[in-house]
Chains A and B, each alone.
Chain A
């Protein structure tokens, strides 16, 4: 059984409405790479223009946050589940001018 990537609701429209996808992957980075290769429109919502995972994108391998493991180099094995969990943030601008 390959690695299963769970796709959160806000990204499903860019993944053919799928809630998960499976890939053979040795690391989290590899799995996310396969995900964004298959569903190219996902990429800009997960990664910044310089290829870093956006700060409000939380990635877990099984129940562990990859920030506390090896980040995108966190190894994965068959049967693992990678979950993408949003954080939500916002607020009005500092100078009182809203866009």
Chain B
């Protein structure tokens, strides 16, 4: 994992994700992560890590959880919502690089259900919200074989969001 690039996010946007989870508690919140993906392979021979992230979140696109039948433990983003997020991303010169959602009173770890419905390549941020208070925030990427997620390090950069 030492060569796996981290997912960069500003402190401000990380707090907005937490706040969204707290706002919708006890229901799951969800939204799109807009940013840039460079997919650079860090050159380990250089001896030091580059300061250019492979993936950086630069804006959020909060969404309404469409699972109003089971919002406490399920979230859903429709194709129309995905298209709206992609349009918003394009308008800012960005792309949709992933999705975030909350786990009310559950750990910030992906479930079997998360895995069964995941797409590869996207970053999946999960924030745990306990008794209305946001706690851990983690990020995950689905493995190529779909059998499990790999954790993705979140690097919080304390600078203003673009």
Q: Looking at the complex, which one of B39, B73, B112, B124 makes contact with A99 (CB distance below 8 Å)? A: B112
How far does the alpha carbon of A88 sit from the alpha carbon of B82 in the complex, in Å? Answer: 8
Contact present for B103 and A98 (CB under 8 Å):
yes
Interface string of B75-96 (1 = CB under 8 A from A): 1111101110000000000011
A13 smallest CB distance to B (angstroms)? 6
Interface string of A17-58 (1 = CB under 8 A from B): 000000000000000000000000100110000000001101
Answer yes or no: B146 CB below 8 A from chain A CBs. Answer: yes
Answer yes or no: B18 CB below 8 A from chain A CBs. Answer: no
How far does the alpha carbon of A91 sit from the alpha carbon of B73 in the complex, in Å? Answer: 5
Closest to B101 in A: A90
* Number of chain A residues close to chain B: CB under 8 A: 27
Closest to A99 in B: B112
Contact present for A94 and B73 (CB under 8 Å):
yes
The B48-95 residues at the A interface (CB cut-off 8 A) are 67, 70, 73-79, 81-83, 95
B51 smallest CB distance to A (angstroms)? 24
Contacts of A55 in B (CB 8 A): 117
What total of A-B pairs shows CB separation below 8 Å?
A: 105
The A57-98 residues at the B interface (CB cut-off 8 A) are 58, 65, 85-94, 96, 98
B113 smallest CB distance to A (angstroms)? 5
Contacts of A58 in B (CB 8 A): 79
Contact present for A89 and B73 (CB under 8 Å):
no
Answer yes or no: B132 CB below 8 A from chain A CBs. Answer: no
Contact present for A85 and B117 (CB under 8 Å):
no
Q: List 15 A-B contacts (CB under 8 A).
A: A8-B119, A10-B119, A13-B120, A13-B121, A14-B120, A45-B146, A91-B103, A92-B107, A92-B114, A98-B103, A98-B107, A98-B109, A99-B114, A99-B115, A99-B148
If A92-B113, A99-B115 are given as contacts, then 18 extra A-B residue pairs at C-beta distance below 8 Å, sorted by A number, are A10-B119, A10-B121, A10-B122, A13-B120, A14-B120, A87-B76, A88-B117, A89-B67, A89-B117, A90-B114, A91-B103, A91-B114, A93-B73, A94-B73, A98-B103, A98-B107, A98-B110, A98-B111
